[in-house]
Amino acid sequence: MISVAEALARVLALGAPLAPEEIDLDQGLGRVLAAPAVAQLDQPPFDTSSMDGYAVGAAATGDSLQVIGESAAGARFSGVLSAGEAVRIFTGAPLPAGALRVVPQEDVLRDGDHIAITEDQSSLFVRTAGDDFRAGDTHFPRRPLRPADLGLLAAMNVPRLSVHRRARVAIIPGGDELVPPGGRPGPDQIIASGDLAIAAMVERAGAIALRQPIVPDHVDAIRAAFTAAADADVVVTIGGASVGDHDLIAPTARAMGAVIDFHRIALQPGKPLMAGTLGHQVFIGLPGNPVSAQICTLLFILPLLDVLRGLPGAAPKTARVRLAADLPANGKRQHYMRATLTDEGALPVRSQESNLQSLMALADGVIIRPIGAGPAKCGEMVDYIAF
C-alpha cells in the first residue's frame, strides 16, 4: 500500500488544465481565469471628489469665494476655475479644471453665491485619475473568482472572460445490492446514496457532475457504463473497487484499456481506492462504503478538479485544533477521524465505522492521525480538515 501523500501526487499527475473557453462576465463567479484580464481604461478615469463640498484653487481659511457653478457625477462643470472662485461639487464628480482640492461642505459657510472657508483640513479630498488601476493593468488571481473580482473586472470594462472549461465528471454507482432513492429495496438490498453525495461535492468544487444509473455486478453492464461516460473528463466509479469475486471494476476497466496507476492505499477509511487513466480520461475507483467514498473524494478528487480548472493541486488545507478527548495509538494506515468542533476542541464522533452516514452528516471535519501515531491526550494539538 502506498501513502496518502504519494497517492495524491500520483492522482494530480494524471490531470492537466482543461482547454479555455470564453464566457460572459456575469457567468464568471467561481470560475478560474485561463488568461489575465486587461483593464481597458483608467479608474477613476479623471480626478474626482471624495466628498460633497466645494472645489477650490489656492484658497485658505477665512477666504471668501464666489460660487460659479456645479459639478455632479455624470455632469461635470465645463468651465475653468480662477482665483477667488469655487464650484459646488458632489462625491464622484469630476474635479473642474483649475481646482486643486475640495473643501467639505461642513467646513464652509455659504451666503448666496459666496462661501467662506471656516476650517482648512490637510486632506485634498481628491481621488486622482488611475489611482485604482490604469489601462493595461491586469487581474489574474490563481483561485476561483469571487464577487469582488467580478466587480473589479466590470470596472476594468472586461465584458468577456477566458476561463478553463468546467470538468465533466461521470459518477457510476455499482452493485446488485443498490436501488435508487424512492425505490423499493429487496430483502438483500439498500438505497444508493454515495453517488448523490459525491456529485454534490463535485458540483460544489465547480465541476459538472454526470450521475449515471446504477450498474449491476456484470461485466457487460460495466462496459456499457464506461462507454456511456466517454465524453467525461473524469470517470468515478463507486463500489466494486476491492478484490473480491464480485469486484469487477478493475478487471473490466483494464480489459477496456485502462492503465491502473495504483490500487489500495494506507488510508482509513478508503483503503481500496484506485486511480489511473482510461484513454483520455482520468479514472478513479472509489470504495463502496459511503463515508470512505466521501473521504477519498475530499482527499483526491477535489484536488484533481483544481488541477483541471487551472489551479495548483494541493492537499486540503489543515488547521491545528485542540483535542476534546483522549485518542488511542494509531495503526498502519493514516486515519481521518470524523469529529465535531466544540468549545473544548475537536471531539471524535462515537464511531468511526465507514458505513455510518448519520455520523458523517454530524461531523464538522476530520482529525488526521498519522501512521503509527502514539496515544493523544485531551488538550493536545492535532491537524484537522474542516468540511
Model confidence pLDDT, tens digit, residues 126-154: 999 999 999 999 999 999 999 999 999 99
Instruction: Provide mean pLDDT across the span 152-165.
Output: 98
Do 190 and 117 sit in the same domain of this protein? no
Residue 246 reports pLDDT greater than 60: no
Q: Is the pLDDT of residue 119 over 70?
A: yes
Name the domain count of the chain: 4
Check residue 69 and give its pLDDT.
97
User: Which of these three, 278, 308, 338, is where a domain ends?
Assistant: 308
Co-location of 332 and 199 in the same domain: no
Q: Are residues 151 and 170 in the same domain?
A: no
If asked whether residues 159 and 169 sit together in one domain, one would say: no
Q: Do residues 125 and 49 lie in contact, with contact meaning Cβ atoms separated by under 8 Å?
A: yes
CA proximity to 252, closest of 216, 301, 199: 216
Report the alpha-carbon distance of residue 51 to residue 92 in Å, rounded: 8
Per-residue model confidence (pLDDT) at position 242: 64
Q: Provide the whole-model pTM.
A: 0.90
Whether residues 329 and 339 share a domain: the answer is yes
Last residue of a domain, one of 78, 100, 127: 127
Q: Is 122 helix (H, G, I), strand (E, B) or coil?
A: coil
User: CATH number of the domain that 238 lies in?
Assistant: 3.40.980.10
Residues 234 and 332 in one domain: no
Question: Does a structural domain hold residue 291?
Answer: yes
Give the tens place of pLDDT for each residue, 20-32. 999 999 999 999 9
| pLDDT of residue 245 exceeding 70 | no
Q: pLDDT tens-digit profile of 58-115?
A: 988 989 999 999 999 999 999 999 999 999 999 999 999 999 999 999 999 999 999 9
- Residue 314 maps to a domain: no
Residue 70 sits in a domain whose CATH number is 2.170.190.11
Taking residues 294-303, report their average pLDDT. 98
**CA 5, 19, 285 angle in degrees (round to 5)?**
40
Query: What is the Cα–Cα distance from 128 to 88, expressed in whole angstroms?
Result: 18
Last residue of a domain, one of 244, 279, 308: 308
237 lies in the same domain as 195: yes
Q: What local confidence, expressed as pLDDT, does residue 197 receive?
A: 97
Look at residue 132 and tell me if it is in a domain.
Answer: no
Query: Do residue 335 and residue 274 come from a single domain?
Result: no
Chain-wide mean pLDDT for the chain?
96
* 43 in a structural domain: no
Over residues 266-292, the mean pLDDT reads: 96
85 inside domain? yes
Same domain assignment for residues 94 and 118: yes
User: How many helices and strands in the chain, by DSSP H and E?
Assistant: 8, 26
With respect to residue 370, please indicate whether it lies within any of the assigned structural domains: yes
pLDDT in tens, 359-381: 999 999 999 999 999 999 999 99
Q: Is 95 contained in some domain?
A: yes
Shared domain for 147 and 30, answered yes or no, is: yes
Domain that holds residue 366: 319-386
Whether 158 and 29 map to the same domain: the answer is yes
One domain, residues 173 and 285: yes
Q: How confident is the model at residue 122 (pLDDT cuts 50, 70, 90)?
A: confident
Contact 284, 274 (CB under 8 A): yes
The answer on pLDDT for 383 being more than 70 is yes
Greatest Cα pair distance, the chain, in angstroms, is 97
Would 72 be classed as within a structural domain? Answer: yes
* pLDDT higher than threshold 80 for residue 240: no
The tens digit of pLDDT for each residue in 314-335 reads 999 999 999 999 999 999 999 9
251 vs 234: CA distance, rounded Å = 18
Q: How many residues are there in the chain? A: 387
Exposure on the CB side of residue 387, measured as CA atoms within 13 A: 19
Instruction: Give the pLDDT confidence score for residue 120 in this predicted structure.
Output: 84
